[in-house]
Protein backbone atom coordinates (compact mmCIF):
# COMPACT_ATOMS: atom_id res chain seq x y z
CA UNK A 1 0.00 0.00 0.00
CA UNK A 2 1.20 3.50 -0.83
CA UNK A 3 2.09 5.72 2.13
CA UNK A 4 2.19 9.44 2.82
CA UNK A 5 4.03 10.89 5.81
CA UNK A 6 2.81 14.02 7.57
CA UNK A 7 5.57 16.08 9.19
CA UNK A 8 4.28 18.09 12.16
CA UNK A 9 6.87 20.83 12.59
CA UNK A 10 5.06 22.46 15.49
CA UNK A 11 6.52 22.15 18.98
CA UNK A 12 2.96 21.30 20.00
CA UNK A 13 2.04 17.68 19.22
CA UNK A 14 -1.65 18.38 19.73
CA UNK A 15 -2.11 21.89 18.33
CA UNK A 16 -3.48 23.49 15.18
CA UNK A 17 -0.87 22.06 12.81
CA UNK A 18 -1.35 18.55 14.19
CA UNK A 19 -5.12 18.97 13.90
CA UNK A 20 -4.85 19.87 10.19
CA UNK A 21 -2.42 17.02 9.53
CA UNK A 22 -4.75 14.56 11.25
CA UNK A 23 -7.70 15.82 9.17
CA UNK A 24 -5.56 15.52 6.05
CA UNK A 25 -4.65 11.98 7.08
CA UNK A 26 -8.30 10.97 7.37
CA UNK A 27 -8.96 12.24 3.85
CA UNK A 28 -5.86 10.56 2.47
CA UNK A 29 -6.92 7.25 3.98
CA UNK A 30 -10.36 7.63 2.35
CA UNK A 31 -8.46 7.69 -0.95
CA UNK A 32 -6.79 4.34 -0.25
CA UNK A 33 -3.38 5.58 0.89
CA UNK A 34 -1.95 5.03 4.37
CA UNK A 35 -0.87 8.03 6.45
CA UNK A 36 1.38 8.58 9.46
CA UNK A 37 2.09 11.80 11.35
CA UNK A 38 5.61 12.33 12.66
CA UNK A 39 6.22 15.02 15.29
CA UNK A 40 9.63 16.25 14.18
CA UNK A 41 10.30 18.17 17.39
CA UNK A 42 10.52 14.92 19.32
CA UNK A 43 13.27 13.60 17.05
CA UNK A 44 15.18 16.88 17.15
CA UNK A 45 15.19 17.03 20.96
CA UNK A 46 17.26 13.85 21.07
CA UNK A 47 20.11 15.39 19.05
CA UNK A 48 23.11 17.11 20.59
CA UNK A 49 22.81 19.75 17.83
CA UNK A 50 19.39 19.90 16.17
CA UNK A 51 20.64 22.30 13.50
CA UNK A 52 23.30 21.62 10.88
CA UNK A 53 26.86 22.84 11.47
CA UNK A 54 28.19 21.20 8.28
CA UNK A 55 30.58 19.01 10.26
CA UNK A 56 31.41 17.02 7.14
CA UNK A 57 31.06 17.63 3.44
CA UNK A 58 29.62 15.56 1.98
CA UNK A 59 27.33 14.84 4.92
CA UNK A 60 28.27 11.62 6.73
CA UNK A 61 25.10 11.60 8.91
CA UNK A 62 27.22 11.46 12.07
CA UNK A 63 25.01 13.97 13.91
CA UNK A 64 21.92 11.77 13.73
CA UNK A 65 23.09 8.18 13.20
CA UNK A 66 21.36 5.83 15.62
CA UNK A 67 18.75 8.41 16.67
CA UNK A 68 15.04 9.02 16.06
CA UNK A 69 16.06 11.48 13.34
CA UNK A 70 17.68 8.67 11.36
CA UNK A 71 14.43 6.70 11.63
CA UNK A 72 12.39 9.74 10.57
CA UNK A 73 14.58 10.38 7.54
CA UNK A 74 14.38 6.71 6.60
CA UNK A 75 10.58 6.76 6.84
CA UNK A 76 10.49 9.88 4.67
CA UNK A 77 12.78 8.24 2.12
CA UNK A 78 10.51 5.18 1.96
CA UNK A 79 7.26 7.19 1.80
CA UNK A 80 5.50 7.83 -1.49
CA UNK A 81 4.70 11.44 -0.57
CA UNK A 82 5.12 13.95 2.25
CA UNK A 83 2.85 16.61 3.74
CA UNK A 84 4.85 19.30 5.56
CA UNK A 85 2.93 21.18 8.26
CA UNK A 86 4.23 24.21 10.12
CA UNK A 87 2.90 27.03 12.26
CA UNK A 88 3.92 30.51 11.17
CA UNK A 89 6.90 31.85 13.12
CA UNK A 90 8.04 35.34 12.13
CA UNK A 91 6.42 34.97 8.71
CA UNK A 92 8.07 31.66 7.90
CA UNK A 93 8.35 28.01 8.90
CA UNK A 94 9.16 26.91 12.42
CA UNK A 95 12.76 26.37 13.49
CA UNK A 96 11.91 22.68 13.85
CA UNK A 97 11.09 22.38 10.16
CA UNK A 98 14.16 24.35 9.09
CA UNK A 99 16.30 22.03 11.23
CA UNK A 100 14.62 19.03 9.60
CA UNK A 101 15.44 20.36 6.13
CA UNK A 102 19.02 21.09 7.21
CA UNK A 103 19.39 17.44 8.23
CA UNK A 104 18.52 16.26 4.69
CA UNK A 105 21.90 17.13 3.13
CA UNK A 106 22.78 13.45 2.67
CA UNK A 107 19.33 12.67 1.23
CA UNK A 108 19.74 15.56 -1.21
CA UNK A 109 23.14 14.28 -2.36
CA UNK A 110 21.59 10.84 -2.94
CA UNK A 111 18.52 12.35 -4.72
CA UNK A 112 16.24 10.49 -2.29
CA UNK A 113 13.28 12.87 -2.76
CA UNK A 114 13.68 13.57 -6.47
CA UNK A 115 10.21 13.59 -8.07
CA UNK A 116 8.40 12.61 -4.85
CA UNK A 117 5.12 14.52 -4.31
CA UNK A 118 5.05 17.01 -1.42
CA UNK A 119 2.60 19.64 -0.22
CA UNK A 120 2.53 22.24 2.52
CA UNK A 121 0.19 23.28 5.32
CA UNK A 122 0.57 26.41 7.46
CA UNK A 123 -1.33 27.89 10.39
CA UNK A 124 -1.11 31.48 11.57
CA UNK A 125 -2.52 33.31 14.56
CA UNK A 126 -4.34 35.84 12.36
CA UNK A 127 -6.05 35.79 8.98
CA UNK A 128 -3.04 37.36 7.26
CA UNK A 129 -0.41 36.04 9.63
CA UNK A 130 2.27 34.91 7.18
CA UNK A 131 0.70 31.66 6.02
CA UNK A 132 1.51 32.25 2.32
CA UNK A 133 5.15 33.12 2.96
CA UNK A 134 5.43 30.05 5.18
CA UNK A 135 4.04 27.83 2.42
CA UNK A 136 6.49 29.33 -0.07
CA UNK A 137 9.44 28.83 2.31
CA UNK A 138 8.47 25.17 2.69
CA UNK A 139 8.08 24.80 -1.07
CA UNK A 140 11.49 26.42 -1.65
CA UNK A 141 13.14 23.79 0.54
CA UNK A 142 11.15 21.06 -1.19
CA UNK A 143 12.30 22.28 -4.60
CA UNK A 144 15.94 22.25 -3.48
CA UNK A 145 15.43 18.60 -2.49
CA UNK A 146 13.79 17.78 -5.85
CA UNK A 147 10.24 17.17 -4.61
CA UNK A 148 7.34 17.67 -7.03
CA UNK A 149 5.15 20.37 -5.46
CA UNK A 150 1.43 19.59 -5.14
CA UNK A 151 -1.17 22.30 -4.55
CA UNK A 152 -4.93 22.19 -4.08
CA UNK A 153 -5.68 22.97 -7.74
CA UNK A 154 -8.21 20.47 -9.07
CA UNK A 155 -10.36 20.10 -12.18
CA UNK A 156 -13.51 19.71 -10.09
CA UNK A 157 -12.77 22.43 -7.51
CA UNK A 158 -10.86 24.94 -9.62
CA UNK A 159 -7.39 26.38 -9.49
CA UNK A 160 -5.90 26.41 -6.07
CA UNK A 161 -3.37 28.10 -3.87
CA UNK A 162 0.17 27.50 -2.64
CA UNK A 163 -1.13 24.85 -0.27
CA UNK A 164 -3.41 24.78 2.73
CA UNK A 165 -3.48 27.85 4.96
CA UNK A 166 -5.48 28.21 8.14
CA UNK A 167 -6.06 30.69 10.92
CA UNK A 168 -6.10 29.42 14.47
CA UNK A 169 -8.12 27.89 15.87
CA UNK A 170 -7.81 25.68 12.79
CA UNK A 171 -10.84 23.62 13.79
CA UNK A 172 -13.00 26.71 13.16
CA UNK A 173 -11.46 27.76 9.82
CA UNK A 174 -14.26 26.55 7.53
CA UNK A 175 -12.49 27.49 4.29
CA UNK A 176 -9.34 25.57 5.25
CA UNK A 177 -11.37 22.57 6.38
CA UNK A 178 -13.19 22.54 3.03
CA UNK A 179 -9.89 22.57 1.10
CA UNK A 180 -8.37 19.61 2.99
CA UNK A 181 -10.22 16.96 0.91
CA UNK A 182 -9.13 18.70 -2.28
CA UNK A 183 -5.45 18.76 -1.32
CA UNK A 184 -5.64 15.17 -0.04
CA UNK A 185 -7.20 14.03 -3.30
CA UNK A 186 -4.46 15.75 -5.31
CA UNK A 187 -1.70 14.20 -3.17
CA UNK A 188 -3.23 10.76 -3.51
CA UNK A 189 -3.61 11.15 -7.26
CA UNK A 190 0.10 11.99 -7.53
CA UNK A 191 1.16 9.15 -5.22
CA UNK A 192 -0.99 6.57 -7.00
CA UNK A 193 0.27 7.41 -10.51
Q: What is the pLDDT along the chain (193 residues), one digit of tens a residue?
A: 999 999 999 999 999 999 999 999 999 999 999 999 999 999 999 988 888 888 878 887 888 899 999 999 999 999 999 999 999 999 999 999 999 999 999 999 999 999 999 999 999 999 899 999 999 999 999 999 999 999 988 777 778 788 999 999 999 999 999 999 999 999 999 999 8
Number of domains in the chain: 1
Q: Please, are residues 3 and 79 in contact by the beta-carbon 8 Å criterion? A: yes
- Closest CA relative to residue 34, chosen from 72, 77, 67, 79: 79
pTM score of the predicted model: 0.95
- Closest CA relative to residue 40, chosen from 77, 2, 78, 86: 86
Phi-psi domain of 168 (left: phi exceeds 0; alpha: psi -120 through 50; beta: other): beta
Q: Three-state SS for 54?
A: coil
Q: Please, are residues 183 and 118 in contact by the beta-carbon 8 Å criterion? A: no
Q: What is the CATH number of the domain that holds 37?
A: 3.40.50.360
Q: What span, in angstroms and rounded, lies between the C-alpha atoms of 39 and 148?
A: 22
Domain of residue 68, residue span: 3-191
Q: What span, in angstroms and rounded, lies between the C-alpha atoms of 153 and 79?
A: 23
Amino acid sequence: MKKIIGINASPNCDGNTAFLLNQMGKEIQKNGVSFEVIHIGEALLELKLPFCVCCSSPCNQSCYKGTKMETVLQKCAEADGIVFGSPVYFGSMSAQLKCFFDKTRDARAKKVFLGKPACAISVGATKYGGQQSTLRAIQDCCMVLGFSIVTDADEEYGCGHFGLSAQKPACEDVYALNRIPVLAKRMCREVLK
